[in-house]
Every structure is written in C-alpha cells, then in structure tokens.
C-alpha cells in the first residue's frame, strides 16, 4: 500500500512581510517547500500539496507533484481534507510546509511507528529547555493522552517539556474519519488539525509520540526564524562536507547551498560563499573571500583569494584563478593561469595559457554578448583588452597594453598600442612652468 504525504502550504505568511509566498523563501538556496518535498520524496510514495487561491508560483515550485486548492482558509484540518481524494489506501501523513527541516530519517521513524501496529496514530514531538507557548504533549511511555494548548494548560501541564510539532500519521481511512469529525468550536472558529488526536483518543485508539530533534521541527514564520533555520542547515551542510573529506579552516564563515557538491580533499579557507550549482573536484583549494556560483571546479585547481566565479564557468584540471579575477561563462583549460585583476567573460582558453594582470575580454557591445577564443599555450600580456568577437591562436603572444580587435594567428606576436614618444629634458621645463603658475 502506498504512503502519502499531505503538505499544507495555503497560509498567507503575513509575519514574513513579503510579497513572496512564505514557503518560497529560501534556506541554503532552496525554497522551504522544496526542502520538505525532498525529505518526503525519500520516504513517501506520493506527495500532495495544499495551496491557497492564486498561489500559482507555489504550484510551480511543487511540480510535478499534485496540488489542490483550499478556497476558504478555515483551518488546518479543513486544509488537509481538501486532499482527501488523494489519500489512497495506505498511511497518510499531514505536514506543514513551513516546517521545512524535517529530515527523511525522522519521517521514516514516524511512518514505521505507525506501521508497527501498536498505535493507530503517530505524531512528531520535540523537547525544549524553554517550551514557551508551544502546545504540550501529555504522554506516558510514548503513548499520548492528549495535546494541551498553552493557553488552556494548567501549571502542571505547562511544566511538561514535550512539545507538539503538529505532524500526524495514520491509516488513510482513520485519518479521513477523524478529520471529518473535527469541529470549529473554538475561539477562532477554525478546524484544527490537532483535534484529530482527541478524536483518536475518543475511540480508545493508541497515539504514539515519536520524538525528534527540536532543530528539525521548528516552524519558520518570520525573517528571524528564517535566519535561524538557515543557521541550522548551514551547520548540517558543513558537517556533511567535512565528514566527506573536505577541510574547512573556519567552517562558520563558509556558506553553502543545498546542492553544493564536493569530492574529497578539497580545502576551503575562511569567508567563502557558494551560490547555486557548484561542483568542486578532488584536491581543489578555494581560498579566502571568494564567491562561486554555477561553476565546475576541476581537480587540483586553486581559486582566490578574492575571486569571483559566475555561472557557466568551467575550470579544468590544475587551473589557477587568483585574486580579484572574475570569470563568467568561460572554460579555462588544463593548467591555465589567470592570477591577478582580470575579467574573462564568454570565452574559452586553451590548456597551458597564461593570462596577464589586467586582462579583460570586452564581450558586450551594448546589445549583444560576443565570445573570445584563446588557444593553448598562448601568452596574454598585462593590461590587454580583447575586443570580442576575436580569437588568439595556439602559442601566440599578445604584448602588454594591447587592444586586440582582429584575430591573432597561431605563434604570432601581436602588438596593438600607440608608439612611445620621448622628449629629452621636457620634464624640467614642465615643472618650472607649473611652479611659475602656482606662484601666480
């Protein structure tokens, strides 16, 4: 029988103070919704997302999974019922899309506890040293008696540190019956998902509490909580990278994306930021204060310090990109060196070529981008402007200070700069004239 995850994503998210739907805000470069969907995909056979009206961007983010619409926001139990036609005949878990950090291992434990047969309903719970205003789970030996909201709890119940995460898992038939039995007899007049627990206990069904780390179950409802979730995920990503053989000199200053990929024996110095879609091969070193985005770093490359690699950059083996070098949509062949103060955009550079300080590829004419092609074993002198579209052949030398507007043949020497003129003694007369003007 299939297991189904129902993700509730219909909330306004007003505390985020954003035109962007709450669940589309990103943590480590991935939306909250995709974080949770990814965990659910690893455990459940089917994922269904419940949206509010006019939330097409959320539906696009959820694709290819099925979405249903809660046209009236009447509460969380009502939202879950909108997906009842997709419950199937196995287990159903109801989760909140603003609880994005639940890991697959935790969902696996929740599902297995329900399937063990000793409990008709399983829920996720967590412990906090200061539970504040969280609803309390009143349980004995992992069997839940009831959930008490903080406002309704006695002093004794408020002293309980086991908190409700709101995630429930039951057989589809039972879940449907309990959801349909929930009423809106409360101060807000809403149908609350947590009332399912009372419905189950009213039928003498055993309810199991599955404990999970609090960092996985914290909700994200504000910018401050989004930052807290970011810190949690960054800690997870850094730890996973180091366990896989990456050296981080100061892990807390390195920022990763959920899709950053490293091979072993990579070294990352402090204050490095990774954007989306970065892959770093074995033996590479990313030096301090570098920013990498959408690029592929080959084996034994050295990047930085203070380098910027933009989307479409590919560094093949043993490439050195040094300080204040920016590379965009460019492939640097094996052994290429671009050590200082250079911009390489929309270009390809052959193996063994040296790019001098101050070199730029002039790739944009105000309307279109154009490509520069540099062959293997070429030498580009300092302060060279390569005006695209242009090519430099294998083994060619471009003299320092040149502005190259025409193709350079293989093994040729290209010079394109004004002739130097020298006037002997002219500096003395110029200084004398300047002093005279200064004195008036």
Cis peptide before 324 (omega within 30 of 0): no
Gyration radius (Cα) of the chain, Å: 31
Contacts of 171 (CB under 8 A, 6+ apart): 90, 91, 92, 114, 120
- Looking at the DSSP bridge assignments, the partners of residue 327 are 309, 344
Compute the distance between CA of residue 168 and CA of residue 173 in angstroms, rounded to an integer.
Answer: 14
DSSP 3-state assignment of 72?
A: coil
Catalytic residue status for 340: yes
Phi then psi dihedrals of residue 17, to 5 deg: 50, 55
DSSP string, 111-126: HHHHHTSS-SEEEEEE
Q: Residue 136, class by beta-carbon neighbours within 10 Å (0-12 exposed, 13-18 middle, 19+ buried)? A: buried
DSSP secondary-structure letter at 296?
Answer: E
Query: Quick check: 416 and 405 in contact, CB under 8 A?
Result: yes
Alpha-carbon distance values, 346 to 44, 253, 258, 380 (Å): 43, 31, 27, 17
**Helix, strand, coil percent content, the chain, rounded in steps of 5:** 25, 30, 45
Instruction: For residue 36, give the nearest of 109, 115, 94, 111 by alpha carbon.
Output: 94
Q: Which of 65, 86, 340, 370 is catalytic?
A: 340
Residue with tokens 């084996």: 299
The residues annotated as belonging to the active site are: 340
């Amino acid at each position: 029988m299939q297991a189904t995850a129902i993700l509730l994503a219909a909330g306004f998210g007003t505390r985020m103070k954003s035109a962007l739907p709450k669940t589309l805000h990103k943590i480590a470069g991935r939306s909250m919704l995709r974080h949770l969907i990814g965990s659910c995909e690893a455990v459940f056979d089917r994922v269904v997302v419940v949206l509010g009206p006019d939330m097409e961007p959320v539906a696009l983010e959820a694709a290819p999974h099925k979405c249903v619409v809660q046209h009236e926001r009447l509460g969380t139990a009502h939202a879950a019922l909108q997906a009842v036609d997709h419950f199937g005949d196995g287990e159903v878990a109801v989760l909140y899309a603003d609880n994005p950090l639940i890991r697959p291992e935790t969902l696996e434990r929740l599902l297995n506890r329900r399937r063990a047969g000793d409990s008709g309903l399983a829920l996720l719970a967590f412990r906090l040293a200061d539970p504040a205003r969280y609803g309390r789970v009143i349980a004995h030996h992992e069997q839940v008696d009831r959930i008490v909201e903080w406002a309704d709890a006695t002093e004794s119940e408020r002293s309980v540190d086991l908190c409700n995460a709101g995630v429930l898992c039951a057989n589809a038939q039972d879940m449907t019956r309990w959801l349909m039995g929930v009423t809106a007899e409360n101060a807000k007049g809403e149908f609350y998902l947590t009332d399912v627990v009372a419905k189950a206990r009213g039928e003498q069904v055993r309810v199991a509490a599955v404990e999970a780390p609090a960092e996985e179950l914290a909700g994200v409802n504000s910018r401050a909580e989004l930052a807290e979730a970011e810190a949690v995920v960054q800690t997870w990503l850094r730890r996973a990278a180091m366990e896989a053989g990456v050296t981080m000199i100061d892990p807390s200053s390195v920022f990763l994306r959920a899709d950053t990929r490293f091979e072993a024996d990579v070294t990352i110095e402090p204050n490095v930021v990774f954007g989306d879609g970065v892959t770093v091969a074995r033996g590479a070193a990313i030096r301090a204060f570098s920013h990498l985005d959408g690029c592929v770093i080959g084996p034994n490359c050295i990047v930085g310090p203070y380098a910027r690699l933009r989307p479409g950059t590919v560094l093949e083996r043993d490439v050195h990109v040094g300080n204040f070098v920016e590379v965009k949509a460019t492939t640097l062949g094996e052994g290429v060196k671009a050590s200082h103060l250079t911009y390489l955009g929309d270009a390809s550079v052959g193996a063994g070529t040296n790019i001098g300080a101050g070199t730029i590829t002039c790739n944009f004419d105000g309307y279109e981008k154009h490509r520069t092609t540099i062959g293997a074993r070429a030498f580009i002198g300092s302060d060279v402007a390569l005006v695209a579209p242009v090519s430099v052949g294998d083994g060619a030398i471009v003299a320092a200070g040149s502005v190259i507007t025409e193709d350079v043949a293989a093994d040729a020497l290209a010079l394109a700069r004004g002739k130097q003129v020298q006037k002997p003694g002219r500096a003395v007369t110029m200084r004398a004239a300047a002093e005279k003007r200064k004195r008036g």
